[in-house]
Amino acid sequence: MNTNLNTNPKAVLITGASGRIGFELAEQCIELGYHVILHYRSSPQPAQSFFKDDSRVTFLQAELTESPEKFVEDVFKLPLTLEGLINSASVFQTGNMSDPNHFQSVMSVNVMVPLRLAAEFAKYVKNGWILNITDAHTKPKSKNYQNYRVSKMFLDEITRQLAFLYAPAIRVNAIAPGAILPAAGGSAGKFDVLAKNIPLGKTGNVGYIRQTFRFLVENDYITGCVIPVDGGWHLCG
């Protein structure tokens, strides 16, 4: 565990940040001058190798569905000044409402964990921000990914409701990525084919997410917004 024990630097807690978008936002937070509290569930790689011996990063392991409140309490014991929370941890699985148990498990991770973390965060932070990572491609009906898409639709609305609830102390926004990264284990070829369904005619990359994130952090007159970063894919629902 690496922390700066003297200056209590401003910090951002990022869930599910050992790889993919969470990892990219961790790197962006450091560029913005933040200390990063990087949460992971099972493995800290590849982030741990990348941030090796970096005193600006603290790694914390937790199963967030068990006690997100206790996790936030532990975070606030660190010699840091927490300003931001990024809810990036998520499950992307096939499943539909014919399996209520699966629906409940997906909702637990993708909806209830961000909601509970935000509630605990708001108890401690009186001047800060929350960013949720949702999904731009939720409107089309899908038997294969029904539970996942419904969970992200819930998170969109929770973002708006929390922005209203916690203003003016805490701003709450969301980024809804489209075709930014291939699914874990997916092929680049199948990913690139998605471009034909995207109005701007191309898939994206994490640079677009980082640009949007920086804009939302630095512009303190925006709250309650869900910004699709998807080349217009959400228009094709």
pTM of the model: 0.94
Res 199 pLDDT > 60? yes
Domains, the chain, with CATH or none = 10-232 (3.40.50.720)
pLDDT-derived band at 90 (thresholds 50, 70, 90) equals very high
d(CA 81, CA 53): 21
Q: 10 Å Cβ neighbour count for 59?
A: 17
What's the chain's average pLDDT? 95
Does residue 131 sit in helix, strand or coil? Answer: strand
Give the pLDDT score at 5.
43
Does residue 4 sit in helix, strand or coil? Answer: coil
Report DSSP letters for 62-115, one per residue: --TTT-HHHHHHHHTTSSSEEEEEEE---------TT-HHHHHHHHIIIIIHHH
Cβ-based neighbours of 182, under 8 Å, separated by 6 or more: 188, 190, 191
Res 1 pLDDT > 60? no
